[in-house]
Every structure is written in C-alpha cells, then in structure tokens.
Amino acid sequence: MPLPPLHVRTPLIESRPLTEALGRPGCRVWLKLENCQPTGSFKIRGIGCMVQRALLADKGCSQVVSSSGGNAGLAAAYAAAHSGLPCTVVVPSSTPESMRKRVSAEGAQVLVHGSVWRDAHAKAEELVSATPNSLLVHPYDHPDIWDGHGTLVDEILEPGSGLSSPPSAIVVAVGGGGLLCGIARAFQRRGLYPNLIAAETVGANCLSVAMATGHPVTLPGITSKATSLGASQICSSTWTTVQEFGDKASCVVCTDAEAAVASWRFLEDHHMLTETACGAALSVVYNSRVPETALSNGGDIVVVVCGGRNVTVSQLSELAGLDS
C-alpha cells in the first residue's frame, strides 16, 4: 500500500516582477515554489520517494545513511525521522555548523569525516556495507530520486494549476543534475518537450562544459560559492536525457555575483530567502538570458525556485556585494 508522500504540494504562482524583467509581450513567468517544502528545498521530493520505496521493499530498510552536508542530507534526516528510521549523515569538515545543527535537529547522527564530499561519501559507503538493509542516499544520482522530483511536473500540469497549457520553457538550477533529470523525464513520459533551460554558476558548470565538449567532463575543482551546485561531473542519466531533448536543451552560466544579486532581487520582490544556487535559475530571467528559441512563440515560462536552507540574509547581502 503506498505511503503518503513526505513532500508537500507547492504553490505555482505567476510573478509580475519577473515577467516585467523578462520584458517579452505574450510571455509570462511562473514560479514553482520548492522553497516551501518542509526542509526548505526540492530535495525532499526525491529523497523522500527513495526512503519510502526502500521501506516498502521486501527486505525493508534498517537505517538511512547520507553523505551530504547540504540540503540532501537535511532531506534524508527528515525522511528517515518521518519514516521511523535511524539516520546517519556523514559530512565533510567544510559543512557549516549551522547546517550540522539543522540535520541533528531532525534526529540524525551527524558524523564528520574528511575535508571534501568524496571522503564523506566513502565513509557513508563503509557504514552501509557494515549494516544489513541499510539505505545509502546519494544526493542526486538514483532513479527513485528522479521519480520523486518528477512529481513537481505532475503538479505543474494538473488541471487548476494556473497554466492553461504546458509551459513553453522550464528553468532549473543544475548541480549533479538530479532535479533536471527528474523534471525532463516526467515531461518525456507525457510526450512533452518544453525548452529545458539549465542554470549553472561559473566554477560549478559541469553541464555546460559537457555540452561544449560533447561528453561529460570532470571539473578539476569547484570554485563557485554556490556550494549546492558543487558537483564535479553531471550524472550520466542526466546527460543522456539532455541529449534526447536536442536543441530544446540549453545551458546558461552566470557568475556567483549575478546569482547572489538575483536571489537578493527575489527576496525584495517576493520576500523569500533562497540560496545563490537558486539565484542561478532566477538570474536567467532577471538578466534576460532566456534563449530566443524559448520566447519566439510566447507562452509560459516556469522557474523552479529550488530553495535551500544553507544561507542567511547577511550572507546573501555579502555575496551580492551590498554590505560595503
């Protein structure tokens, strides 16, 4: 018997400020407010789905182990707590104390190991191998996670959502590509191919590099301050899906400062605080960088406001250069 989802149905609202910023007659900008999820980001959709499916599997699930010091780790802790499972979140030493406290507040054990995500993930794999029926929750690379993220599209397309027809384009911030993969596949299952606009920041732009070279490339390092986008390589399934969208798929890269300013403008326009990773998607519209192919026939553009809890107003102000 299916379990009630751990995510909530989030609002889809028309944004007058972003529509005006886009400045194209016949085009309206809509916001899918994933920042309204219980954990503050879209991550609970996919990770909640993964945990619940493991719980319903024949062998069951004895514990949840995550290797993310960011929003994925917080979602894993929340999903485990609401499923009656113990949870260990392994984080690198670079994880801010504020995020460690949020994860711990959800009832998870926080284990600090290594200085980078690879170290933490290796330790998480070690813990899983030592305990039968443990579930290793990857931050973005698993079919259950993509299916969970795809429920976002179900809500966008359902009658009464506000849209009279499927959107002409959807703008999504991209790190490892889990959200993009889930959204794209959900549209594909319905035979729909809207313009798929991926947003990245300089120094965490693994998808744009892959699109330029024709194959996935491992970045030598992550230099962007938008740490939630800090994946060194796009996941293989996302890459395959992007290729299937052909010229309907594009990638827009902004600077950290542009992403931070976009998040600040969004805070002023809609009174919602988001990480600069989310600002990367918002900057595509605020800076009028939506590809012409997505605008030529008018229509609705949906920006996924992916949210994120790893930011404060003062931090965002500093990143946007407003505190000098």
Query: Based on the domain organization, do 100 and 181 belong to the same domain?
Result: no
Residue 90 lies in a domain: yes
Question: What value does the mean pLDDT take over residues 203-229?
Answer: 90
Tokens at 314, concatenated: 């003062």
Query: Based on the domain organization, do 20 and 164 belong to the same domain?
Result: yes
Query: Of the candidates 87, 114, 137, which is a domain's last residue?
Result: 137
What gap in Å lies between CA 166 and CA 164, rounded to an integer? 7
Query: Based on the domain organization, do 27 and 152 belong to the same domain?
Result: yes
Whether the per-residue pLDDT at 175 is higher than 60: the answer is yes
pLDDT in tens, 122-154: 999 999 999 888 999 999 999 999 999 999 999
pLDDT bracket for residue 324 (50, 70, 90): low
User: Percentage of the chain with pLDDT > 90?
Assistant: 80
- Closest by CA to 40, choosing from 16, 83, 70, is 70
Torsion of CA 255, 258, 261, 265, to 10 degrees: -140
Q: What is the pLDDT of residue 225?
A: 87
Q: What is the pLDDT of residue 297?
A: 81
Query: Based on the domain organization, do 164 and 98 belong to the same domain?
Result: no
CATH number at residue 101: 3.40.50.1100
Whether the per-residue pLDDT at 28 is higher than 90: the answer is yes
- Closest by CA to 156, choosing from 34, 283, 251, is 34
Query: Of the candidates 137, 172, 190, which is a domain's last residue?
Result: 137
Query: Based on the domain organization, do 185 and 270 belong to the same domain?
Result: yes
Residue 220 lies in a domain: yes
Query: Based on the domain organization, do 67 and 213 belong to the same domain?
Result: no
Query: Based on the domain organization, do 127 and 162 belong to the same domain?
Result: no
pLDDT in tens, 78-103: 999 999 999 999 998 888 898 999 99
Residue 121 lies in a domain: yes
**Domains in the chain: how many in total?**
2
Query: Residue 62 is part of which domain span?
Result: 43-137
Residue 172 lies in a domain: yes
The rounded mean pLDDT for the chain is: 93
Whether the per-residue pLDDT at 51 is higher than 80: the answer is yes
Q: What is the pLDDT of residue 93?
A: 87
Q: What is the pLDDT of residue 226?
A: 83
Question: What value does the mean pLDDT take over residues 283-298?
Answer: 91
Is pLDDT larger for residue 2 or for residue 123? 123
Q: What is the pLDDT of residue 257?
A: 95
Question: What value does the mean pLDDT take over residues 189-212?
Answer: 96
What gap in Å lies between CA 121 and CA 63, rounded to an integer? 16
Query: Based on the domain organization, do 226 and 250 belong to the same domain?
Result: yes
- Closest by CA to 204, choosing from 181, 167, 229, is 229
Residue 297 lies in a domain: yes
pLDDT bracket for residue 323 (50, 70, 90): low
What gap in Å lies between CA 183 and CA 150, rounded to an integer? 5
Query: Based on the domain organization, do 215 and 277 belong to the same domain?
Result: yes
Query: Based on the domain organization, do 213 and 286 belong to the same domain?
Result: yes
Q: What is the pLDDT of residue 118?
A: 83
Q: What is the pLDDT of residue 1?
A: 66
Are 135 and 50 contacting, i.e. CB atoms less than 8 angstroms apart?
yes
pLDDT in tens, 296-318: 888 899 999 999 888 999 999 99
Query: Based on the domain organization, do 248 and 290 belong to the same domain?
Result: yes
- Of 146-150, 211-215, 224-228, 269-273, where does mean pLDDT reach its minimum? 224-228
Q: Is 244 exposed, middle or buried (0-12, 13-18, 19+ CB in 10 A)?
A: middle
Query: Based on the domain organization, do 217 and 96 belong to the same domain?
Result: no
Residue 242 lies in a domain: yes
